[in-house]
Structures are given as C-alpha cells and as structure tokens.
C-alpha cells in the first residue's frame, strides 16, 4: 500500500507505506495505475476487505520512450487477486493476415460459403487470373462469415465485461445480496462457456 486510499476500510501500517513510497522515489519508479480500478485483492467476503496489493512500476525514461503504456485489469475467475495486463505500445504495425482455422471445415455452413463465393467470382479469360480471383472471393467471404461464427467468444467477452463491472462497483461500495448472487451466476455461466470453448 502507498496510502490509506489503497484500502476500502480503515487500517494499514503508515510506517510501511512511508517505506514503500521512499523506495519508489529513491529508485525513480513510476506507478502505472490500473485503469478504472482502485484495488487488486479481495478477502472474498460479502462485505469484503479490498486492498491494492498488486503494483506495476516503470521508470521516468520509460514514460518518455513508451507513453502508450497502461494496465488493464481483467475479471477474476479464481484466486483472490485479479489478473491484469500491461500494455506497451510499439511501433510495429499490426499484421492483417488471413488465418484459416481448421475447425471451419467441420462447421455445417462452411462448404456452402466456399461454394457461394467460388461460383460467384467474376469470370476472366486468363485461367490464372480466374483462379486467383476465386481464391480472393472465398477469402473475403470466409473472413466475414467467421466473424458471425464466434458467438461463443462474444458471450465470453460479455460475461467478463459484466464481472469487471461488478468488481469495479464493489471498489466503490458493498454489493447487495442480489448483485452478489448475480456475480456468482455470471461466473458460473462463464466457466461453462469457457469449458465448451476448450472442448472446441
């Protein structure tokens, strides 16, 4: 802890906080806050004690060379600490590669999509051009189709989003019994979704 606000209830050792803060300034460390969250640990009770026990530090030269650095907290499916991701912006451009997923082939709609785009490609006199145009059509068709396919990922994303919202709310105030049981429900649902994703 660096200061009393790193805890949702009174307490904490002032001497230890001072030591921690002195060390941080002596080493010229820069504290990267967790976007939108005050605490990283919970004792998991209904009226929980919440504390920021997890910290990410860089230094001042890093701040200048990597301004696009932030910490994204994730939802907590397990453990009493939250997982969190340090994002560091680079100058490496994103690839926009086409990735063919082998599980597509087993999907019932797959052959229809391939056939649809293969047959609907414009016809060229040049056979090579013809083939490349067909491949291009199929590729763009599959790309679009695959986005609608992964309903599961969308559901998982939504569950994580709701869990984070509730955890964030808990940062501010005690959750009601209803909210608590809703969180349990969503966690359970999420674990089922993740189970089916793993089998896939």
Closest contact distance (angstroms) between CB of 113 and another protein is 25
CA nearest neighbour of 106 among 149, 139, 156: 149
DSSP states along 120-159: TSPP-SSHHHHHHHHHHHHHHHHHHHHHHH-HHHHHHHHH
Closest contact distance (angstroms) between CB of 151 and another protein is 16
Query: Would you say 34 or 145 has its CB closer to another protein?
Result: 34
**Token duo for residue 198:** 């793993």
Fill in the DSSP letter of residue 94: P
Closest contact distance (angstroms) between CB of 124 and another protein is 33
CA nearest neighbour of 59 among 24, 99, 8: 24
Q: Please identify, among the stretches 89-97, 99-107, 133-141, 173-181, the one whose residues bind another protein according to the rule CB under 8 A.
A: 89-97
**Token duo for residue 22:** 């002195």
155 binds another protein (CB under 8 A): no
Site string for another protein, 17-46 (x = CB under 8 A): ------------------x-----x-----
Q: Which residues contact another protein (rule: CB under 8 A)? A: 35, 41, 53-54, 56, 62, 68, 70, 72, 74, 77-94, 156, 160, 194, 197-198
């Amino acid at each position: 802890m660096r200061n009393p606000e790193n805890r949702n209830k009174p307490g904490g050792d002032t001497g230890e906080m001072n030591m921690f803060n002195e060390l941080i300034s002596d080493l010229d460390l820069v504290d990267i806050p967790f976007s939108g969250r005050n605490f990283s640990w919970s004792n998991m009770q209904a009226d929980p004690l919440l504390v920021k026990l997890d910290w990410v530090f860089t230094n001042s030269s890093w701040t200048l060379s990597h301004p696009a650095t932030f910490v994204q907290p994730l939802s907590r499916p397990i453990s009493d600490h939250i997982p969190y991701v340090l994002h560091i912006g680079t100058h490496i451009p994103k690839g926009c590669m086409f990735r063919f997923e082998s599980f597509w082939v087993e999907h019932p709609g797959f052959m229809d999509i391939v056939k649809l785009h293969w047959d609907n490609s414009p016809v060229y006199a040049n056979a090579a051009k013809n083939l490349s145009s067909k491949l291009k059509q199929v590729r763009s068709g599959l790309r679009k189709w695959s986005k609608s396919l992964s309903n599961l990922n969308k559901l998982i994303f939504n569950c994580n989003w709701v869990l984070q919202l509730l955890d964030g709310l808990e940062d501010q105030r005690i959750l009601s019994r209803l909210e608590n049981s809703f969180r349990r429900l969503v966690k359970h649902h999420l674990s089922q979704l993740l189970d089916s994703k793993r089998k896939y």
